[in-house]
Protein backbone atom coordinates (compact mmCIF):
# COMPACT_ATOMS: atom_id res chain seq x y z
CA UNK A 1 0.00 0.00 0.00
CA UNK A 2 1.26 3.43 -0.88
CA UNK A 3 0.89 4.71 2.67
CA UNK A 4 3.67 2.43 3.88
CA UNK A 5 5.99 4.99 2.28
CA UNK A 6 3.97 8.03 3.26
CA UNK A 7 2.97 9.16 6.75
CA UNK A 8 -0.53 10.61 6.54
CA UNK A 9 0.25 13.27 9.15
CA UNK A 10 3.43 14.64 7.58
CA UNK A 11 3.14 17.75 5.44
CA UNK A 12 4.71 21.13 4.92
CA UNK A 13 2.91 23.36 7.44
CA UNK A 14 3.79 26.54 5.56
CA UNK A 15 2.13 25.25 2.38
CA UNK A 16 -1.30 25.27 4.05
CA UNK A 17 -3.39 28.47 3.79
CA UNK A 18 -4.92 30.16 6.82
CA UNK A 19 -8.25 28.51 7.64
CA UNK A 20 -9.61 31.10 10.08
CA UNK A 21 -12.37 32.26 7.71
CA UNK A 22 -13.27 28.80 6.37
CA UNK A 23 -16.37 26.73 7.23
CA UNK A 24 -16.09 22.96 7.40
CA UNK A 25 -18.68 20.20 7.44
CA UNK A 26 -17.51 16.87 8.83
CA UNK A 27 -19.61 13.71 8.41
CA UNK A 28 -18.45 10.74 10.49
CA UNK A 29 -19.58 7.11 10.26
CA UNK A 30 -20.40 5.35 13.53
CA UNK A 31 -19.24 1.92 12.29
CA UNK A 32 -15.75 1.10 13.64
CA UNK A 33 -16.13 4.13 15.89
CA UNK A 34 -12.80 3.47 17.67
CA UNK A 35 -11.21 4.33 14.33
CA UNK A 36 -13.59 7.02 13.03
CA UNK A 37 -13.50 8.97 16.33
CA UNK A 38 -9.70 8.97 16.10
CA UNK A 39 -9.96 10.25 12.52
CA UNK A 40 -12.30 12.99 13.72
CA UNK A 41 -9.88 13.98 16.52
CA UNK A 42 -7.00 14.26 14.10
CA UNK A 43 -9.10 16.20 11.63
CA UNK A 44 -10.34 18.75 14.17
CA UNK A 45 -6.87 19.22 15.69
CA UNK A 46 -5.31 19.88 12.31
CA UNK A 47 -8.07 22.24 11.19
CA UNK A 48 -7.61 24.22 14.40
CA UNK A 49 -3.80 24.26 14.02
CA UNK A 50 -4.42 26.17 10.83
CA UNK A 51 -6.82 28.63 12.42
CA UNK A 52 -10.27 27.04 11.97
CA UNK A 53 -12.77 28.22 14.56
CA UNK A 54 -15.07 25.96 16.59
CA UNK A 55 -18.13 27.88 15.43
CA UNK A 56 -17.17 27.12 11.82
CA UNK A 57 -17.14 23.35 12.30
CA UNK A 58 -20.40 21.49 11.63
CA UNK A 59 -20.02 17.84 12.73
CA UNK A 60 -22.67 15.17 12.11
CA UNK A 61 -22.65 11.39 12.41
CA UNK A 62 -24.23 8.79 10.12
CA UNK A 63 -24.66 5.08 10.94
CA UNK A 64 -22.17 3.59 8.47
CA UNK A 65 -19.80 4.53 5.69
CA UNK A 66 -22.42 3.77 3.07
CA UNK A 67 -24.42 6.71 4.45
CA UNK A 68 -21.52 9.16 4.02
CA UNK A 69 -22.66 10.18 0.54
CA UNK A 70 -26.15 11.09 1.72
CA UNK A 71 -24.73 12.78 4.82
CA UNK A 72 -22.35 14.88 2.72
CA UNK A 73 -25.04 15.74 0.15
CA UNK A 74 -27.43 16.94 2.85
CA UNK A 75 -24.68 18.91 4.56
CA UNK A 76 -23.98 20.73 1.29
CA UNK A 77 -27.69 21.40 0.77
CA UNK A 78 -28.64 22.53 4.28
CA UNK A 79 -25.55 24.02 5.89
CA UNK A 80 -23.29 26.85 4.85
CA UNK A 81 -20.01 24.99 4.52
CA UNK A 82 -17.07 25.55 2.17
CA UNK A 83 -16.00 21.89 2.13
CA UNK A 84 -17.25 18.59 3.52
CA UNK A 85 -14.92 15.96 4.97
CA UNK A 86 -16.35 12.42 4.99
CA UNK A 87 -14.75 10.07 7.54
CA UNK A 88 -15.34 6.32 7.66
CA UNK A 89 -13.62 2.98 8.03
CA UNK A 90 -14.43 -0.22 6.17
CA UNK A 91 -12.63 -3.39 7.21
CA UNK A 92 -12.71 -6.43 4.96
CA UNK A 93 -14.86 -9.13 6.49
CA UNK A 94 -16.13 -12.48 5.32
CA UNK A 95 -18.81 -11.05 3.05
CA UNK A 96 -18.67 -9.18 -0.29
CA UNK A 97 -20.04 -6.16 1.57
CA UNK A 98 -16.57 -4.62 1.81
CA UNK A 99 -16.34 -4.22 -1.96
CA UNK A 100 -19.90 -2.98 -2.34
CA UNK A 101 -19.58 -0.40 0.43
CA UNK A 102 -16.17 0.86 -0.74
CA UNK A 103 -17.37 1.15 -4.34
CA UNK A 104 -20.63 2.82 -3.28
CA UNK A 105 -18.95 5.45 -1.11
CA UNK A 106 -16.19 6.13 -3.62
CA UNK A 107 -18.65 6.59 -6.49
CA UNK A 108 -21.06 8.60 -4.34
CA UNK A 109 -18.46 11.06 -3.08
CA UNK A 110 -16.91 11.35 -6.56
CA UNK A 111 -20.32 12.17 -7.97
CA UNK A 112 -20.76 14.96 -5.42
CA UNK A 113 -17.38 16.38 -6.38
CA UNK A 114 -18.34 16.36 -10.04
CA UNK A 115 -21.82 17.81 -9.60
CA UNK A 116 -21.75 20.31 -6.71
CA UNK A 117 -19.68 23.43 -6.03
CA UNK A 118 -18.50 22.19 -2.65
CA UNK A 119 -15.40 20.00 -2.45
CA UNK A 120 -15.95 16.70 -0.66
CA UNK A 121 -12.87 15.12 0.90
CA UNK A 122 -12.47 11.35 0.88
CA UNK A 123 -11.63 10.20 4.39
CA UNK A 124 -12.53 6.54 4.01
CA UNK A 125 -10.02 4.07 5.41
CA UNK A 126 -10.31 0.71 3.65
CA UNK A 127 -8.19 -2.05 5.17
CA UNK A 128 -7.85 -5.81 5.50
CA UNK A 129 -7.90 -5.71 9.29
CA UNK A 130 -8.23 -3.55 12.42
CA UNK A 131 -4.48 -3.22 12.92
CA UNK A 132 -4.04 -1.58 9.51
CA UNK A 133 -6.90 0.79 10.33
CA UNK A 134 -5.26 1.72 13.66
CA UNK A 135 -1.98 2.37 11.84
CA UNK A 136 -3.80 5.00 9.73
CA UNK A 137 -5.88 6.66 12.43
CA UNK A 138 -3.15 7.96 14.71
CA UNK A 139 -0.79 4.96 14.62
CA UNK A 140 2.52 4.37 12.90
CA UNK A 141 1.33 5.63 9.50
CA UNK A 142 -0.16 8.85 10.89
CA UNK A 143 -3.79 9.90 10.83
CA UNK A 144 -5.91 10.15 7.70
CA UNK A 145 -8.01 12.74 9.56
CA UNK A 146 -4.99 15.09 9.53
CA UNK A 147 -4.53 14.55 5.81
CA UNK A 148 -8.21 15.24 5.12
CA UNK A 149 -8.09 18.49 7.10
CA UNK A 150 -5.13 19.74 5.06
CA UNK A 151 -6.78 18.69 1.80
CA UNK A 152 -10.04 20.44 2.74
CA UNK A 153 -8.22 23.71 3.49
CA UNK A 154 -6.31 23.51 0.22
CA UNK A 155 -9.44 22.75 -1.80
CA UNK A 156 -11.34 25.69 -0.28
CA UNK A 157 -8.36 27.91 -1.11
CA UNK A 158 -8.35 26.47 -4.65
CA UNK A 159 -12.04 27.32 -5.10
CA UNK A 160 -11.54 30.86 -3.76
CA UNK A 161 -8.65 31.51 -6.13
CA UNK A 162 -10.75 30.43 -9.13
CA UNK A 163 -13.46 32.94 -8.21
CA UNK A 164 -11.06 35.91 -8.14
N1 LIG B 1 -20.03 0.27 7.64
C2 LIG B 1 -18.79 0.78 7.82
O3 LIG B 1 -18.62 1.99 7.94
N4 LIG B 1 -17.70 -0.06 7.89
C5 LIG B 1 -17.79 -1.40 7.76
O6 LIG B 1 -16.75 -2.11 7.85
C7 LIG B 1 -19.08 -1.96 7.53
N8 LIG B 1 -19.22 -3.29 7.35
C9 LIG B 1 -20.46 -3.80 7.11
C10 LIG B 1 -20.60 -5.17 6.92
C11 LIG B 1 -21.86 -5.71 6.69
C12 LIG B 1 -21.96 -7.18 6.48
C13 LIG B 1 -23.00 -4.84 6.66
C14 LIG B 1 -24.38 -5.40 6.42
C15 LIG B 1 -22.87 -3.50 6.85
C16 LIG B 1 -21.61 -2.94 7.09
N17 LIG B 1 -21.44 -1.56 7.29
C18 LIG B 1 -20.20 -1.06 7.48
C19 LIG B 1 -22.61 -0.65 7.38
C20 LIG B 1 -22.93 0.06 6.06
O21 LIG B 1 -22.01 1.12 5.81
C22 LIG B 1 -24.35 0.67 6.13
O23 LIG B 1 -24.45 1.46 7.28
C24 LIG B 1 -25.45 -0.38 6.15
O25 LIG B 1 -25.26 -1.30 5.10
C26 LIG B 1 -26.83 0.26 6.02
O27 LIG B 1 -26.95 0.99 4.81
Q: What is the pLDDT of residues 136-157, one digit of tens each?
A: 999 999 999 999 999 999 999 9
**pLDDT score of 63:** 98
Task: Read off the pLDDT of residues 42-96 as tens digits, 9 standing for 90 and up.
Answer: 999 999 999 999 999 999 999 999 999 999 999 999 999 999 999 999 999 777 8
Round to whole Å and give the CA distance between 76 and 78: 6
**Domain count for the chain:** 1
Question: What is the mean predicted confidence (pLDDT) over 105-113?
Answer: 98
Model confidence at 133: pLDDT above 50: yes
Domain assignment present for residue 101? The answer is yes
pLDDT given at position 3: 58
Q: What is the CATH number of the domain that holds 96?
A: 3.40.50.960
Give the residue, out of 97, 98, 123, 137, with the most ligand 1 atoms within 8 A of its beta carbon, to mutate for a pocket test: 97
In a domain, 6, yes or no: no
Residue 164 — pLDDT band, cuts 50, 70, 90?
confident
The answer as to whether 11 is a domain residue is no
Percent of the chain at pLDDT > 70 equals 97
Residue 63 CA: which ligand 1 atom is closest?
Answer: 23
- Is residue 112 in a domain? yes
Q: How far is the CA of 102 from the centre of ligand 1 (A)?
A: 10
- For residue 62, is it within any domain? yes
Q: Is residue 45 part of a domain?
A: yes
Question: Which domain range does residue 45 map to?
Answer: 22-162
**pLDDT at residue 1 is higher than 90:** no
Task: Decide if 14 is inside a domain.
Answer: no
Burial 66-104 (b: 16+ CB within 10 A, else e): bbbbebbbebbeeeebbbbbbbbbbbeeeeeebeebbeb
Q: How confident is the model at residue 161 (pLDDT cuts 50, 70, 90)?
A: very high
For residue 150, is it within any domain? yes
Whether the pLDDT of residue 2 is over 60: the answer is no
Counting ligand 1 atoms within 8 A of each CB, the residue from 35, 37, 65, 91 with the most, and so the one to mutate, is 65
- Residue 28 Cβ inside 6 Å of ligand 1? The answer reads no
User: In ligand 1, which atom is closest to the CA atom of 93?
Assistant: 10
Amino acid sequence: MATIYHNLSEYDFSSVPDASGMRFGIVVAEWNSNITWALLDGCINTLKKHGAKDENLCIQTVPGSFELTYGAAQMIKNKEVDAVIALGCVIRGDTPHFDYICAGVTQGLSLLNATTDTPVIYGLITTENMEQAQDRSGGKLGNKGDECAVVAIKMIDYTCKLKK
